[in-house]
Copies of this chain bind each other. A is one copy, B any other.
Amino acid sequence: MRISELSRRSGVPNATIKYYLREGLLPPGRATAATQAEYDDSHLRRLRLIRALTGVRGLSVASAKQVLDAVSAHGDDTHRLLGIVFGIWPSEAGRPEARADDGTPGPNPEAAALVDAMGWSVSEHNPARQVVDQTLRTLRGLGVDYDWRALLPYAELAARTARYDLDRLEAVTDPLEKAEQAVLLTFLLEPALMALRRLAQEDESTTRHGPDASPPGRW
């Protein structure tokens, strides 16, 4: 297809597609004339992936490019690919702080204790360690008596979630598709999983406080 059709089918403006091409986020099409190129379904899929990363979760174009390069390079190695995906955090204030350039992991003693208690095998470089320690520090700064032990029941449930995730991923055979799904299932699914927790919290609250309690509403 021509770039105009790629634009129409993806809903991404022509100028934006050209920008992604210049920045190397989107591989070039097959040249059919000096100023024309043909694009195919792989371009369409890649374009949608770019939009998902930059739009839905707010990654910068530069971060999206890093992710996509990594996906292309390691799509045939699920384990390595997941290691890359774990490094993606949305660009909100809660993302892990930048690391020292020497590669030394910051000290995250609570994550270490939790990983140890769970018997998990997790790299020192997984940024999720830092998120755990930061969150717990914030909670205690707010006077909440909460440490890594309080996270253990959640960690047990996370382990079961991870088995669903990996089962689903192993059912995909095409390497590029598997790479994409790893990104989608880790990164894009997160808001939905938090939404499920909130739905379940409301139900649990209704169950405990009875139908006569004032219903949660808009505010």
Contact = CB atoms under 8 A, between A and B. Distances in A.
Contacts of A123: 202, 215-217
**A-B pairs, 3 with minimum CB distance:** A83-B216, A128-B195, A162-B200
Contact of A45 (B55, B122, B128, B142): B142
Contacts of A207: 121
Interface stretch (A15-23, A24-32, A129-137): A129-137
A216 B91 CA distance: 21
Interface string A172-203: 00000000110010101111111111111111
Given A188-B135, A189-B135, A194-B193, A86 B216 contact: yes
Given A131-B191, A161-B154, A201-B186, A218 B87 contact: yes
A83 B35 CA distance: 57
Size band of the interface chain A makes with B: 35 or more
Interface of A: 45, 48-49, 52, 55-58, 66, 70, 77-80, 82-84, 86-87, 90-94, 99, 103, 111, 114-115, 118, 120-123, 125-126, 128-129, 131-132, 134-136, 138-139, 141-144, 150-151, 153-155, 157-166, 168, 170, 180-181, 184, 186, 188-209, 211, 213-219
Nearest to A159: B200
A193 to B, nearest CB: 6
Given A48-B143, A79-B208, 15 more contacts: A56-B138, A70-B219, A78-B205, A80-B216, A83-B215, A94-B191, A123-B202, A125-B216, A126-B198, A126-B216, A128-B199, A139-B189, A144-B181, A155-B200, A166-B205
Nearest to A45: B143
Contacts of A215: 79, 83, 123
Contacts of A139: 184, 188-189
A121 B212 CA distance: 13
A120 B203 contact: yes
Contacts of A111: 195, 199
Nearest to A144: B184
B214 A92 contact: no
